[in-house]
Amino acid sequence: MLTIHTEAQGPATIVRLAGELATGDVEQLQKTATKLMEQAPIQIVFELSRLQFLTSAGLGTLVQLAARANSQHGRAVLASVSPFVSGVLETTRLEKFFEVYPSVEEALRAVGTPK
């Protein structure tokens, strides 16, 4: 089961994901992120320290959301990734696709800086 909490932090929004991001949870994440992407500029930090598991559908959704933010001249970055998610990113070589930061604070500083 996925839990999503959002928190405005200056011009950015922190999206904290906890639990499991499985196929059945993708729609919930897409709805939350789509609502945030209606605001400009798009500056989203996905905080993943409590995300214990994700399926390929969940990973694909994160890729899609980051790509959408980039195409709209925004930023969607990952912060505080759990060991499991870090392993998935390394295995799939997506750590090169995503901007990954060790902490939420560093991610917030990064999204506040033009790419």
Could you tell me the CATH number of the domain that includes residue 27?
Answer: 3.30.750.24
Helices 26-37 and 56-71 pack at an angle, to 10 degrees, of 10
Length of the chain: 115
Compute CA distances 102 → 29, 30, 75, whole Å: 22, 24, 16
The pLDDT, as a whole number, for residue 113 is: 59
- Cα separation, 58 vs 23, in Å, equals 6
* pLDDT tens-digit profile, the chain (115 residues): 899 999 998 889 999 999 999 999 999 999 999 888 887 778 999 999 999 999 999 999 999 999 999 888 889 999 999 999 999 999 999 999 999 999 999 999 998 755 5
Q: Quote the domain boundaries for residue 21.
A: 2-111
CB-based burial label for 90 (10 Å; 0-12, 13-18, 19+): exposed
CB-based burial label for 21 (10 Å; 0-12, 13-18, 19+): buried
The pLDDT, as a whole number, for residue 115 is: 53
Counted domains in the chain: 1
Q: What is the pTM of this model?
A: 0.93
Q: Which residues pair with 8 in a beta bridge?
A: 13
